[in-house]
Amino acid sequence: MKLDTNTINKIAKLARIRLSEEEAKELLKDMNSILDWVEQLNEVNTDAVEPLANISSAILPQRKDEAQDINSTDEILKNSPDKLEGYFAVPKVVE
Amino acid sequence: MEFKSITQLKTLLDENKISIKEIAETYIKRINEKKELNIFVYFNEDIIHYQAKEIEKLPNDKTLKGIPIAVKDLFCTKSMPTTAGSKILENFKPTYESFVTQKLINQGSMFVGKTNLDEFAMGSATNTSYFGNTINPLSKNDNPLAPGGSSGGSAAAVAADLCLGATGTDTGGSIRQPASFCGVVGIKPTYGLCSRWGIAAFASSLDQAGIFSKNVKDASILLQEIAGYDQRDSTSSNVQVPSFYKNLNPSLDGKVVGIPKEYTVDGISDEINGVWEEAIKSLEKKGAKIKYVSLPHTKYALPTYYIIAPAEASSNLARYDGVKYGFRASDAKSLDDMYELTRSEGFGKEVKRRILIGTYVLSAGYYDAYYLKAQKVRKLIANDFVETFSDCDLILTPTAPSAAFPLNEKQDDPIKMYLNDVFTVPASLAGIPGISIPYGKDKQGLPLGIQLLSKHYNEQEIFNAAFALEKDYE
């Protein structure tokens, strides 16, 4: 057992996902079994191995960093659940 | 009229034996007749009719003029909403077109709809979608089967003749495994060959767009059209895309095909091993040299993948916060409340599980033990392939450890579900191209796929060998 209920709730808080007690219980079981299973990677000696972050074997070209006018504010705001005077609107942050 | 392939439909169009309007009507009718399979998340007859009128005006030399294509609902499309199979993107209307779909539009293809998928492409059965299961069109009435996943809707759309080609994405097998389950061709090209611009991100170091089709020729036509450099994807490779279709050559003389011993896994049916055996014999008969090889780190591919993919997903899916687009929970009192409730109600179980695993393996104190370790093992897995391809042109394996399984088969053990990808994940981690083609059937008459892999940017060799093997079943 790697995780306990406290850790699950802490991770959930970090990920901004609220869990019901029941969900937390189920996830605890699943995640512990997954983490036990990935444990087998410790059998592999990786002492002199560089971590691989980008698998591409091509030379990745750079582009000029130039501003492009792609979308209008209106078009983007159309997808927003709540908006006000040309801005995204969210619940009050400062009391 | 029966439409067997893109090449055949192009001939009919060239000879004026059918009009674009008739093609549109035919496919609308077919899709309406197969509604119960739940293949499409979005289907709108008016939009198809509108496209048909626009396409008629295009010059005749457009490669895909009038070809009906289904689009996995992970690709942003301006003409149709894009959901990624998630409640959190319900009703999302992209303000831009993905690179891949734009390329298809430019060549005159007709989008028949957006296909169902596992939520954010996380799954192997198209059963984690907010919009319900897709049913494999090869199912018998009393036993609905899974189409595989995550691109299950696209694979099913091709298998059910609701289009002549479909886009998919493959992060750990999400094109090849459903292609195998539905008895169609599915190719995942080299990482970086097709731009990821406009594809809802799952695991950015693995995500790659690809194609489903009725046969290898059609796959070569479609892949050629969607490949190419795009400066809006920083990992898009600026390589010359060969004329896959024109270059198709089924000759295997002198080609060396590697058979990795690690892909003989416990619990795999004799039927699957039998099909593999037959394909080996056929390649040999066609002039290829068979070489038994070893990819020693194969067994670590799945656990490596299930650290790296969730880690990247937890980061990529942080953008779904209920502010800019998509679903927002209604009764939040504070901003934090809104984030938590939105994500809690908007994401399904599997997505939450992966976000939490990803958050954990990236969190302070665990990063080295999990994420960095996995990246190192990934290097070893990639090296296995590099070494093997130093004296092999191709590798041949089965695509999936089973044929399509029943839809209602209980999948409450996540690790058991992850095993579906055991043969496809290693190539994903190595970024190499792979194709699945149908090759034989099991006792119940369900298709079984075999997988051909090659080194980076060697799609042509894969197409050639697949083209040769495909002839065994013509």
Cβ proximity of B457 and B193 under 8 Å: yes
Please state the domain count of chain B: 1
- What's the CATH number where A30 sits? 1.10.20.60
CB contact under 8 A, B300 and A27: no
DSSP codes, B333-378? SSHHHHHHHHHHHHS-HHHHHHHHHHHHHHSTTTTIIIIIHHHHHH
- Gap between the Cα atoms of B40 and B155, Å rounded: 11
- State the residue range of the domain holding B452: 1-256+395-474
Q: Which of residues 52-71 of A touch B (CB under 8 A)?
A: 52-61, 63, 70-71
A76 at the B interface (CB within 8 A)? yes
CA dist A43 and B70 (Å) reads 44
Average pLDDT over residues B293-317: 97
| Residue pair B309/B207 in contact by the 8 Å Cβ criterion | no
Q: Which residues does residue B75 pair with via DSSP β-bridges, in sequence order?
A: B199
Tokens, residue B66: 């009038």
- For residues B324-349, give the mean pLDDT: 95
Determine the Cα–Cα distance for residues B383 and B406; give it in Å rounded to an integer.
Answer: 37
Q: Is B304 on the interface with A (CB under 8 A)?
A: yes
- Flag whether A94 is in a domain: no
Report B:88-127 residues touching A (Cβ under 8 A): 92-93, 95-96
B87 classed as catalytic: no
Q: What is the mean pLDDT of each run of 10 residues along chain A (95 residues)?
A: 90 97 94 94 96 84 83 88 94 83
CB contact under 8 A, B356 and A82: no
| B2 domain residue, yes or no | yes
- Exactly one of B34, B72, B87, B114 is catalytic; which is it? B72
Facing B95 at nearest CB: one of A18, A57, A71: A71
Q: What is the pLDDT of residue A72?
A: 80
Chain A contact for B377 (CB, 8 A cutoff) = yes
The number of folded domains in chain A is: 1
Residue from B86, B109, B139, B150 carrying the catalytic annotation: B150
B150 has catalytic annotation: yes
- Is B190 inside any structural domain? yes
Q: Which pLDDT does position A71 carry in this prediction?
A: 67
Does residue B326 fall inside a structural domain?
no
pLDDT tens profile B173-194: 999 999 999 999 999 999 999 9
| A33 touches B: beta carbon within 8 Å | yes
The answer to whether residue B338 neighbours chain A at the CB level (below 8 Å) is: yes
Amino acid identity, position B463: F
- Domain coverage including residue A32: 5-41
Quote the longest CA-to-CA distance of chain B. Answer: 70
Confirm whether the ipTM is greater than 0.85: yes
User: At B49, which CATH number?
Assistant: 3.90.1300.10
The overall average pLDDT reported for chain B is 96
